[in-house]
Amino acid sequence: MVEYERGSLLRFLGLYLGSTLLLLGIIIALFYQNSQKSLLESAYLRLEVEAGEIAKEIVLAHMHGQTLTALHHPIDAHLTLYDIEGRRIAGLEAPFDLTIRRGEIEGLLYVVNDSAFGHLGIDHIVLSMEKNLQSLESLKGYLLLGFALLALLLGLFSYLLSRLFLRPIKEEIKRIDSFIKNATHELNTPLTALLATAKSLQKGEVDEKKISRLLLIAKQIEHLYSDLSYLFFKDIRHQEDRFFDLGELARSRALYFEELANNRALFIQTTLHSLEIKMDEVLAERIIDNLLSNAIKYAHAGTSIELIVQKEGWLYVQNEGAEIPQEEGEKIFERYYRFHPSSKGASGLGIGLSIIKEITLSYHLPLFLSSKEGKTRLGVDFSSLIS
């Protein structure tokens, strides 16, 4: 894992895992507090019910002439009785506050009931019990264990999720890195030849062959520059649709690429009908140029490349070369994808056909690909743009 991946992974884990654990911790803390309140509320309610029952017994005992010895109370609770003056009659010697209904003192929970109304000399009933924290401690232990296990699972899930999110970024960076290397290589070859030719001209070695070579190199660089310009400046370029003859444009581009084709012992044959369409001419030129460039790149030496414009609206470029498998039919239109990149003569940046697909999608133009018996035909249907 390289440095940028490690940094991105740690930042994602820190943000996602930290925020999730914080939220989980808050939920657990609130649950614990609510459980504590519920437990105390349950204990107070029990004491209040029992104190009410004792008050009833006191009233009934007084009415039947019985004494205090007949009173009973829960075995886990303490009963303390006070008279109307607030003096303790029986029970615990603890500073209970008789002015409140519920209280807590010295580890005891207690309730005060004054519904005896002085019967048998009793005015206040205090029922108390030990504050039992054992269940809360057990609950706290379970919650902490659950939190630790959830943190472990969330950590593992976050790691796997971050790797899943980073994978397409990593692949895209790898493709861009490959693109930069290929672009450097593509530029290095013609620039090296350009410098060598320029030096020979500087020495006075001027002949028609060297001039033709210079023009060929210039066309290679111009084509590469045109593709890169479209790729990086398409968002700020203003599209201008106007009427022009697609057949004439195709004828001029065939002448432009003729020398590039001849340099690889290839021949461009044309069958061009006049076809007036409304489109951005620069974008149409990019389609034709990349179709021709792709055909020249993968055609076998000594064969012909056919450029066809039909009056029905189809423009085709056909070459004789390696057959494109059916499963690669869609891949070749992906950006940076190069068909048989290791084969001899297969060069380029893997952007030409992706530019074609992008332009045709923007105009809703159908694409055609057929590759069998050593012949590959690529075409675009311009019929929807015919004036």
Predicted pLDDT of residue 162: 73
pLDDT digits (tens, 9 = 90+) for 313-363: 999 999 998 888 777 777 888 876 766 644 444 556 677 888 899 899 999
Same structural domain, 249 and 130:
no
pTM above 0.85, yes or no: no
pLDDT digits (tens, 9 = 90+) for 101-160: 999 988 889 999 999 888 888 999 999 988 876 767 787 888 888 888 888 888 888 778
Nearest to 311 by CA among 279, 278, 271: 271
Query: Considering the domain boundaries, does residue 297 fall inside one?
Result: yes
Q: Which residues contact 356 (CB under 8 A, 6 or more apart)?
A: 286, 287, 290, 291, 333, 367, 380
pLDDT digits (tens, 9 = 90+) for 169-194: 777 677 666 666 656 655 665 666 66
Query: Considering the domain boundaries, does residue 167 fall inside one?
Result: no
Query: Considering the domain boundaries, does residue 144 fall inside one?
Result: no
Burial letters 50-69, b for 16+ CB under 10 A, else e: bbeebbebbbebbeeeeebe
Query: Considering the domain boundaries, does residue 171 fall inside one?
Result: no
Q: Which residues contact 134 (CB under 8 A, 6 or more apart)?
A: none
Query: Considering the domain boundaries, does residue 20 fall inside one?
Result: yes
| Residue that finishes a domain, picked among 112, 136, 160 | 136
Residue whose tokens read 């035909």: 377
| Residue that finishes a domain, picked among 114, 136, 158 | 136
Residue 312 to residues 142, 296, 316, 360, Cα–Cα distance (Å): 77, 25, 12, 17
Strand ranges, E, within the chain: 77-82, 88-90, 102-105, 108-113, 124-130, 241-245, 267-272, 276-280, 304-309, 314-320, 367-372, 375-381
User: Coil, helix or strand for 378?
Assistant: strand
Residue whose tokens read 């029986």: 90
- Distance from chain centroid for Cα 67: 79
| CATH code, domain with 354 | 3.30.565.10
The answer to whether residue 259 scores a pLDDT higher than 70 is: yes
Query: Considering the domain boundaries, does residue 114 fall inside one?
Result: yes
Which amino acid type is present at position 244? Answer: F
Predicted pLDDT of residue 4: 60
| Residue that finishes a domain, picked among 107, 136, 165 | 136
Query: Considering the domain boundaries, does residue 339 fall inside one?
Result: yes
- The domain total for the chain is 2
Domain range for 84 is 3-136
Query: Considering the domain boundaries, does residue 310 fall inside one?
Result: yes
